[in-house]
Structure 1
Amino acid sequence: MHGFTLVELMVGLAIGLVLIAGLGLMFANTSQSGSELNKSIRQIENGRYAVQLLEDDMAHAGFYGELPLDGINYGPKPSDLQDLCGATGHQGWDAATSRAPLPILGLSKDDSANCLSNRLAGTPAFVIHHIGNDAAPIAPASATTGMAYVQTSRCNKDVDPGNPSVAAFAVAATAPASFPFRSLDCTTPSPVRPYIARIYYIASCSECSGSGADTIPTLKMAELRGNSMTVIPLVEGIEQMVLEYGVDTAGTGNASSFGIASSTTDWGNIVAVRVHLLSRTTEPSPGFTDSKTYVLGGSTVTIPEADKQFKRRVYTTTVRLTNVAGPREIPVTTPPASS
């Protein structure tokens, strides 16, 4: 019986090592490719999800239930943007002038609001106002104490509780006892709907404190809950947002022009918004360098050297504010067909 010679054994070991090295390299490359594919898939999902979230809420901007849309005065942009973070600023209803909160209000990158914690420098934000549309109206007695609701009057004998000489319009409050208006029979209390006030912005982190703190740019929302704003993380990896607002200067329901938020923007006549988002992977890609310059509407974004290992995509959509634009539409009259 013959065994292996030393030479044969060494050759066999060498061949085995080559095969193992090849398999290891193939496994490493496959694993890296799978990891990069997973990063890209999550980045694409996050970008699309962020666009869908903003589209859905913008589409409801200015929905005020039974209020006559053609009679609402949306009023000017608040001079003190800090009011956006308190119940008073968000509940800007005024019966004397038939004023309801602006459906949408943009904050430029230089505007501040003290409830937007960890806001990423150089990024804008925007506010959405409407009432809840995903649930049936409820009786005031069933309203949750501390939650903001809006009540409108259905009785032609109702008057504004703060000024009896003014006809009833609407009231926003957080206490069930603060809803004075009645239904058509002028006896039954008129129902209430939840009042929605949300500020969308980009934060410099997803988890901003504690042992799990990170530096992932994240789309967040500050939502009115009771008398204060609560910040909620929504989508990780959103690092830049550019908003172009369409102003209807002709009163037709169509945007005459689009522009970035400024102190002169005619907020009561905004009928559409173009949203541009720059989304990146949440983890760097070794060996990758992002040397692109990204165009978001009329703005360009150049990536700083420290962040060039992340892969990025741009997402763009245009949202029509139906509750503002719809009542302005001019019906098209079709001439009678000639005989």
Structure 2
Amino acid sequence: MRGFSLVELMVAIAIGLILVAGLATLFANSSQTGSELDKSMRQIENGRYAAELLGEDISVAGYYGELSATGITAVTAPACATAVTALGWDNTASTGPVAVTGLSATEAAALSCLPNYKTGTGALVLRHVDTTSVAPGAATNGGVYLQTSRCSTDPNATRFIVSTASSDFTLHGIDCTIINTVQRYISRIYYVATCDECGADTIPTLKRAELKGNQMVVSPLAEGIEEIAYDYAFDTSGDGSPDSYLAGLSGVAGAADNDWGNVVGVRVHFLSRTTEPSAGFTDGGTTYDLGLSGTRGPFTDSYKRRVYTVTTRINNIAGPREIP
């Protein structure tokens, strides 16, 4: 009987080390693959969520409940307006806020209600009322609400009331005996910020500034949204169908495509990137098409990117214009 020689023992150790190194390499590669897959999945989820969320809000823009658009002139109100008198509603002049307003990078940068705004990106303002009606007494204190008259004996000069005080709502329903319900007025600005949790990260993020009470409240929506570009569908013939797509107003005085009130659809392009870089990755000079706003890139960093595009019809603007 004899034991292992020193040479045999060293050979066995060497083989064991090789096997351990192989297993370690396999584990490292598997972990890296899993990490990259997780980054890509989060990027896809954020991009799809942003497209779905914004698409749904665009589709209900201009919805003002029971208020007929006939005789109401759409006006462009300040994007950051919080006072009721500055929102564009005026019974005497029969005006209401335009459903959609596009903001150029210069216009967005000038707004005080978009903290941590990402320079060079545009923004989108959407306005409508909540689809849920409540009794005036159940309205949230300080919130802006719209009430519409459905009673023929209500004062002819008062078609609607917009207020934050429940005691102001005096218009009646169709039976002319019960005070009509109210709907919360919603004004939102979608924009790209330089951070998600500002002060803790620098991840570009889709955010939304929303009118709540007497202030604009900002909420993060989707991480990794690096830029958003908008193509606006203008109806210049009045039949509810898009006649032209522009990246903004035409600038031609008096032209139908120089009026935000004639926008019947919006095509939105999202440039989404992973929230973390991928070691050793380069996109090889890839450029990304953002519609009428042109291309972006190539980029020299290690983030993976992709573009999501969604086209949405503004039903409450396009629908009433349709010709049977």
| TM-score using structure 1 length | 0.89
1:193 alignment counterpart: 183
Unaligned runs of 5+ residues in structure 2 are 252-257
Q: Deviations over 1:19-67 (max 9, x none)?
A: 1111111111111011101100110011000000001100110011111
Q: Does 1:273 align with 2:286?
A: no
Quick check: 1:93–1:170 contact (8 Å CA) kept in 2?
no
1:126 aligns with 2:121: no
Name the counterpart of 2:254: none
Q: Which residue of 1 aligns with 2:288?
A: 294
Alignment-derived partner of residue 141 in structure 1: 137
Paired residues, what number?
314
Moved more, 57-66 or 139-148: 139-148
Asked if 1 retains the 8 angstrom alpha-carbon contact of 2:249 and 2:259, the reply is no
Q: How far apart, in 1, do the equivalents of 2:86 and 2:250 lie?
A: 19
Write the deviation string for residues 216-253 of structure 1: whole angstroms up to 9, x where unpaired.
Answer: 00000001101110000000000010001111010010
Q: Tell me the CA shift for residue 172 of structure 1.
A: 1.4
Q: For 1:109, give the aligned amino acid.
A: A
Deviation at 1:261, TM superposition (A): 2.1
- Structure 1 CA distance for aligned equivalents of residues 178 and 151 of structure 2: 10
Instruction: Find out whether 1:317 has 2:304 as its counterpart.
Output: no
Check the 8 A contact 1:204/1:215 in 2, yes or no.
Answer: yes
CA 1:90–1:319 in 2, change beyond 3 Å: closer, same or farther? farther
Q: Give a deviation string over 1:83-106, Cα, whole Å, max 9, x none.
A: 534234763112233221111111
In structure 1, runs of 5+ residues without a counterpart are 160-165, 332-339
Aligned to 1:189, the other structure's residue is in SS state coil
Aligned partners of 1:84 and 1:90 also within 8 Å: no
Query: CA offsets, 1:308-329, max 9 Å, x none?
Result: 2100010011100000000100
1:266 to partner: Cα distance: 1.1
Over the matched positions of the two proteins, sequence identity in percent amounts to 53
What RMSD, in angstroms, separates the aligned Cα atoms of the two structures? 1.6
Match of residue 87 from structure 1 = 83
Task: Give the ranges of 4+ consecutive aligned residues of structure 1 lying more than 4 Å apart after TM superposition.
Answer: none
Matched residue SS, 1:157: coil
Residue matched to 1:335 = none
| Corresponding residue SS for 2:97 | coil
Q: Is 1:330–2:320 an aligned residue pair?
A: no
Q: CA deviation at 1:178?
A: 1.8
Opposite residue 181 of structure 1, the aligned amino acid is L
Residues 84 and 162, structure 2, Cα contact 8 Å, conserved in 1: no
